[in-house]
Amino acid sequence: MKTVFMFSGQGAQYAGMGKDLYENYAVAKEVFDRADEVLGYSIKDICFSDEEKLGLTEFTQPAILTMSIAAMKVLQENGINADMTAGLSLGEYSALVASGAMKFEEAVALVQKRGKFMSEAVPAGKGGMFAIIGLDTALVEKACEEAVKEVGGVAVPANYNAPGQIVIGGDAATVEKAGEIAKEKGAKLAVKLKVSGPFHTSLLQPAADKLLPELEKLNIGKMEIPVYTNVTAEVLKSESDIVPTLAKQVVSPVRWEHIIRNMYDAGADTFIELGPGKTLCGFVKRTVKGIVNVNVEDTASLEKALLKIKKA
């Protein structure tokens, strides 16, 4: 058996996340308490009860990372460890913590800055993102190209999540047009996402520029397990690739579907989503078959996951 730890990205957050873990497991409590010390405010209060702040990118990112690592610690305490890891966008930082390459304390402080830089990069209302459901990749890419020709500006695939599910991002009017064209080409749905910016597009370059010097301050450790990166969907070859890849990640499409396929091809048969929600489990389900696919976000999901893993 080869086990994958996969980590949730932004958008999965909900008020109350992590509360059960905090109250029931000392290792989870320790993670939240350490995050509070590093950040200088209570991330647990934001996770457990402050829906408004939880929706702001600069708080969302450290909140999800903290909750994800708390879930991982609880799972590891139950004897489950990873053979490989990856995370969706923000989740890549959790994956790097899981691999040993990044210290949790440094990661949680860094993703708060990342969230701030990302939300500042594009003025409110200027950018947008749409989820295109039920259309082939090539046709989604074509819809973006046609919208750019017609309207100008930027519209590109930002997340290749799973077969038949691609998120596009760019200038508000251009992506809206691309969504309309995608529907004309046969997409079942083109859904506008509630996000603060056109993430993983060239419009986020100002955020990447601000992030790079912060990334360069990191004390990068040895990767104890392979980390598959969003940028190439391949394993990071060496520790020296981490900083430039994370800077590039902000403006590059997330190749999640390809990551899942590559992990599966490398022998992964147990995929465990750590963090809020089951979004990644849904993407895995649409991408590969015949594997164990579970999530851990509280006691109930932990018990269910452990049962399924032991049965496999």
Q: Are 312 and 294 in contact (CB under 8 A)?
A: no
Task: Give the relative orientation of helices 104-121 and 91-99 as an angle to the nearest 10 degrees.
Answer: 160
- The residues annotated with a catalytic role in the active site are 89, 200
pLDDT tens, 25-70?
Answer: 999 999 999 999 999 999 999 999 999 999 899 999 999 999 999 9
pLDDT tens, 244-290?
Answer: 999 999 999 999 999 999 999 999 999 999 999 999 999 999 999 99
Q: Tell me what pLDDT residue 195 has.
A: 80
Cα separation, 169 vs 159, whole angstroms = 9
pLDDT tens, 209-252?
Answer: 999 999 999 999 999 999 999 999 999 999 999 999 999 999 99
A 10 A CB-CB count for 143 gives 29
Cα separation, 190 vs 29, whole angstroms = 40
Residue that has been written with the tokens 């730890």 in this structure: 5
From residue 63, alpha-carbon distances to 9, 67, 107, 146 in Å are 11, 6, 12, 38
pLDDT tens, 179-206?
Answer: 999 999 999 999 999 887 899 999 999 9
How many CA atoms lie within 13 Å of 303's alpha carbon, on the beta-carbon side? 4
Task: Indicate the helix (H) or strand (E) that contains 262.
Answer: helix 256-265
